[in-house]
Structure 1
């Protein structure tokens, strides 16, 4: 017959158990997803973003100068280009990202 060991609630939380049932095993942990914010500074993505930003700034300057017809043409083109560029750059980032 086994002997029952009683421990108080306070000793249970503040002191280690007198007997360890298993031995702790040291192990090495590896990270399979190395992520660095510097990875977002990919030259291709920065170039595409700079071109899109430049076109948007040109459109705003044309509006200020009063060339509304040309600004409207830029707006129609950008309405299609911006989402395609964003999702394309997102796909490119995850396709070239080393997992």
Structure 2
């Protein structure tokens, strides 16, 4: 009777020779989300919003005091300033926001 010899897998198939690789260089990871809620906290946008909010509060206070003529003047000016301010701030936000 013939005797069979057993081979282990490791002896038959030698593992490939691994070269010692240097440590991988770090790479930057960018987010695919184009909008961050923290970007709204831009000081310029906050200042413009504060000024507009302040003018609206002053207008309400003058209305309670009964100075209707001055409130009408504020309303006429704000009818033009509010849309211009909003669109200017929107353009500024998207022009300075890093995508």
If the TM-score is normalised by the length of the shorter chain, which range does it land in?
0.5 to 0.7
Aligned length: 71
DSSP 3-state at the match of 1:80: helix
Partner residue in 2 for 1:9: none
Alpha-carbon distance in 1 for matches of 2:41, 2:91: 15
Residue 94, structure 1, aligned to residue 94, structure 2: yes
Partner residue in 2 for 1:40: 40
Partner residue in 2 for 1:62: 62
Return the TM-score normalized by structure 1.
0.66
Q: What's the offset of the Cα at 1:33?
A: 4.7
DSSP 3-state at the match of 2:35: coil
DSSP 3-state at the match of 2:70: helix
DSSP 3-state at the match of 2:92: helix
Largest Rg, 1 or 2: 2
Tell me the C-alpha RMSD between the 2 structures: 1.6
DSSP 3-state at the match of 1:35: coil
Moved over 6 A (4+): none
Q: What's the offset of the Cα at 1:36?
A: 1.6
Q: What's the offset of the Cα at 1:39?
A: 0.7
